[in-house]
Structure 1
Amino acid sequence: MLASKESDLQQVISALVSAEWLRDNLNIPNLKMIDASWFMPGSERNAKSEWMSQRIPGAVYFDFDAEIVDKSSSLPHMLPSPAQFEQAVSALGIDNEDIVVAYDSSGIFSAPRVWWMFKAMGHQSVAVLDGGFPAWISAGGEIDSELPRIPAKTQYVAELVFERVIDKDTLLAGISSASLNVIDVRPADRFAGSVPEPRAGVRSGHMPNAKNLPFGKLLVNGKFKDKSELERLITPVVSADMLNVSSCGSGVTACILSLASEITLGKPITVYDGSWSEWGSDSTLPIVSD
């Protein structure tokens, strides 16, 4: 976990912090909170409205679904360009020297997506709150209902880290040459193709030679399982000598596996941003059904 001395924090920040640590260190000057809540299409909950009514003090809302997104793409919540990311993050009052902690109202669900976005843009000190907003409440953390005061606009600088993200063409080439390892974190029945996909026009099944590790198996009660259990689950599906790629339905829960691998094995896993929303809707791409 994180060191307690402020001077050490920038260098040793963990990718995962506890609610208790955050409660005791919330007033660190360069600590910036992000509410990264997002709900699946069709949900009656509105993440931004919930943030407006209650949040961890100082938390800004990071809308990776409608605002901080590649709006030129027809695919859901695709990673924006570095220039778009710079503009949006600067407007939130965040700079490159800040320690960023993202959380969501589900526990562990969408916050890892924002962690991954910052990592993909070269930010070093970014973490996820284990257990999210429910864990914060359970730890007796303060709840704020006043909109946060965003500091004077900063100038954030982003630089895409290519090892963090992979596109469709590169992925197809890697599958064809058997030079990468795909781990699909969708539920087992969707991976097998035994149930319809929730998005219209998307085929059922999985990529050739992909492995399946449903993201829910990494979690218990909205938190990550302990390190030894995560290691037991992740080690059999990752490759020691090939590029590992995480995929899911639309690029959100794939980031849960990427984060879990980083905190457990110290091994980053590349995220396929388009995920099955892209792959399954392109009839020219190969799929397998069990």
Structure 2
Amino acid sequence: MSLKITKPLVTVDWLYKHINDTNLVVLDCTIPKVTDVATTDNAKKCIKGALFFDLKKTFSDQNATLPNTVLTAEVFERKAQELGINNNSVIICYDDLGIYSAPRVWWMFQLMGFKNIAVLDGGLPEWNANNYPTVANYSIKSDKGNFTVDFKPNKLKNTAAVYKAMSNDTSVIIDARSEERFLGTAPEPRPELSSGHIPNSINIPFKFVLESRKMKSFDDLFKIFTKFENENEIIFTCGSGITASILALAAAVLEIKNTAVYDGSWTEWASNGNLPIVKEV
């Protein structure tokens, strides 16, 4: 029987138990934080059997003017097939920072209509903390997969949709950036951008849903999101679509369905020049 998962998070114990299942695909989705100084780790390790999911160069639109722009459905399908992903695959995403970039990959597959996917809670740090084995090299899939896209456009928002949602009483825009960037009292990591926030948006910094690099408990997440249970639509935004996906994952843990990510996020909004920006005076 093929492996199936029904929750958006799995533990390292679960992954270790199923590491040799035939339809399991483990993806290392690590990218550096935009606020970090780049470093080279010559001792890079990965989970046994993991494939490298190149979020920056392969699975983002290289012709786009904005960072991390999601691929078209057609191109995503082809790239996923080239990675060896099949329609009956069960995908586990992880990253080296605990929970950071892996939720972006989870969300991308949700956008493409693929549900048999989860994020490894705590990522590689939690795997290492349990002394589970690592290897020095990624696996390489030799066979092309048969992955097919069932695109879900309601999961993706552009600037026009977010602008409309600003004045919609049944929509809420939630910004995952730090409070200082949201208020405009600290600069953006991209120096060409003004800090501040989208009018009528609210701030839930992505770190609020995490504890010791893992997702907070169901009860703690419920306390954060319960006030939005009557909203028809929740749009998550951040700097460039990465940490917004962490909030989307947290909402999915609570089985909140009506969520979307603003793909261009603050980078697109602030670089427009004609859109309103709120800053703390």
Judged with a 3 Å threshold, the aligned counterparts in structure 2 of structure 1 residues 201 and 146 are, in CA distance, closer, same or farther, namely closer
SS at match of 1:147: coil
2:240 is equivalent to residue 250 of structure 1? yes
2:279 is equivalent to residue 289 of structure 1? yes
2:58 is equivalent to residue 43 of structure 1? no
Whole-Å separation in 2 of the counterparts to 1:160 and 1:221: 34
Partner of 1:135: 126
2:86 is equivalent to residue 92 of structure 1? no
Structure-2-length-normalised TM-score: 0.94
Partner of 1:14: 7
Q: Pick the aligned partner of 1:223 from 203, 214, 239.
A: 214
2:1 is equivalent to residue 26 of structure 1? no
Q: Write the letter of the residue equivalent to 2:234.
A: N
Structure-1-length-normalised TM-score: 0.91
Whole-Å separation in 2 of the counterparts to 1:61 and 1:19: 18
Whole-Å separation in 2 of the counterparts to 1:57 and 1:19: 12
Partner of 1:70: 61
CA contact (8 A) 1:19 1:136 kept: yes
Q: Write the letter of the residue equivalent to 2:75.
A: Q
Whole-Å separation in 1 of the counterparts to 2:19 and 2:200: 45
SS at match of 1:281: helix
CA contact (8 A) 1:107 1:130 kept: yes
Judged with a 3 Å threshold, the aligned counterparts in structure 2 of structure 1 residues 64 and 146 are, in CA distance, closer, same or farther, namely closer
Q: Write the letter of the residue equivalent to 1:45.
A: T
Q: 1:167 Cα shift?
A: 0.6
Whole-Å separation in 2 of the counterparts to 1:213 and 1:280: 19
Whole-Å separation in 1 of the counterparts to 2:256 and 2:169: 24
CA contact (8 A) 2:233 2:258 kept: no
2:225 is equivalent to residue 234 of structure 1? yes
Q: Which ranges in structure 1 are unaligned for 5 or more consecutive residues? A: 1-5
Identical pairs, percent? 34
Q: 1:265 Cα shift?
A: 3.9
Q: Pick the aligned partner of 1:262 from 236, 252, 261.
A: 252
Q: Pick the aligned partner of 2:204 from 192, 213, 217.
A: 213
Q: 1:200 Cα shift?
A: 2.5
CA contact (8 A) 1:258 1:268 kept: no
Partner of 2:166: 175
